[in-house]
Structure 1
Amino acid sequence: MGSSNRTLIFATIFLYLLLHFPSQTEARGLKSPAKCPKLLSQVCKTSQNYAFCVRVLMSNPLTLLAPNTKGIVVNALDIVRKESMKTSKFFDGLVNGKGTVPAFKPALKECASDFKKASGLMNLKVLEGDFATMDVNYALDDARSCETKLSMDEVNIKSIPAAIKNWKNFYAVANAAALTLENLQN
């Protein structure tokens, strides 16, 4: 293949990409809750924080490509499952941290386990149609169990409340997805 053919191929690819990718202004507009696709809006309308739900779901390109509401629910649960594992790893990191008070470690280990269990509840195989929100609420029970153990053991680490609050924001997205799933089944 000659160099002129390569140049032509690269120029064609560049032009194609240039014409098919949104501009920065268009991309910002897509991430605005006001420009939310109808199917995605349907999932987020029951969330405690509509704007956060939309922002989280629109951050995943697979959500925008979902062909139906069930596809959006699957992606929402995947995002929250990953956030649950991230929170579990956060607690694992505290357990293994050099400066962690040894008396705090049992509670921190329990929290890591609780959030790992919560991640297992975030998939359609676990959720039952008519009881999907109840199943997702088990994940919230795991987070509350963690909070109770931390309180009982008087664990005082400044980064923990923010990590749990962040997870609860993501949990609200999963709860909205589960409610949407229940509504699809009925």
Structure 2
Amino acid sequence: MAMAAGSLLFPFIFLLALPPVAASLLQATCSLTSNYAFCMSALQSDPRSLKAADVKSLSAIALRIAFADARSASACAAGLTRNATEARAALALSACADRYRNAGEALRWALRALKEENYDYADVHVSAAQEYAAACGRMFRRSPGADGGEPPVAYPDAMAKREEDLQRLCRTALEIISQLG
């Protein structure tokens, strides 16, 4: 009898030792990404992530967050374009607004591919979104002066931050999608 009671206590004690949310889908999914804290923070910004049924649902949430970020970056660039005092800066910012709109479209295509369980195409579209964001920064670093003697147009800190944010969101989305197939 004592042996049976002891054997029943072991599983109970083991369960008490585990953190209450150790087995949550969100934690398990983010633990397989390169930046657990960022993944958790990003996904928890959408309340639907706490009710997600599977990794595919979390992938869709990550893509929607990245899509919203791309739209916000496009709007920011458009706003900076209107306020630019230098023609070269206005041209570069306008082009950035276009790049971020393209990034948003690529993320919309990634969502469609995810829905169709075509994870390779979802990866391609998320990677394209990353490239559009990177293209904005490169445009500023490479922008020649009107006569070739002027320095490149300064990359606004607000846009550099948005590029970094979208890159991180896309990287996280890619890492979550990679868990699907």
- Normalised to the residue count of structure 2, the TM-score between the two structures is 0.72
In the alignment, structure 1 segments of 5+ residues that lack a partner are: 1-33
Structure 2 counterpart of 1:155, from 149, 153, 156 = 153
Superposed counterparts of 1:13-32, under 5 Å: none
- CA separation of 1:95 and 1:55: change in aligned 2, threshold 3 A: same
Letter in 1 for 2:103: A
Structure 1 equivalent of residue 49 of structure 2: 63
Please say which of residues 38-47 and 65-74 is displaced more in the overlay: 38-47
Letter in 2 for 1:174: A
What is the number of residues matched between the two proteins?
148
Contact 1:94 1:100 in 2 (8 A): no
Matched residues, percent identical?
A: 25
Per-residue Cα deviation, 1:67-98 (whole angstroms, up to 9, x for no partner):
2221111111111110111111111111011x
- Normalised to the residue count of structure 1, the TM-score between the two structures is 0.70
Contact 1:83 1:167 in 2 (8 A): yes
1:126 CA displacement: 3.8
Contact 1:132 1:179 in 2 (8 A): no
- Give 3-state SS (helix, strand or coil) of 2:111's partner: coil
Structure 2 equivalent of residue 138 of structure 1: 128
1:66 CA displacement: 1.4
In the alignment, structure 2 segments of 5+ residues that lack a partner are: 1-19, 144-151
Superposed counterparts of 1:1-186, under 5 Å: 35=21, 38-97=24-83, 99-122=84-107, 123-127=110-114, 128-153=118-143, 154-156=152-154, 157-181=156-180, 183=181
Distance 2:95 2:37 in 1: 32
- Give 3-state SS (helix, strand or coil) of 2:56's partner: helix
CA RMSD of aligned residues (A): 2.2
Contact 1:84 1:118 in 2 (8 A): yes
1:131 CA displacement: 4.1
Distance 1:104 1:35 in 2: 49
Contact 2:130 2:166 in 1 (8 A): no
Question: Which one has the largest radius of gyration?
Answer: 2
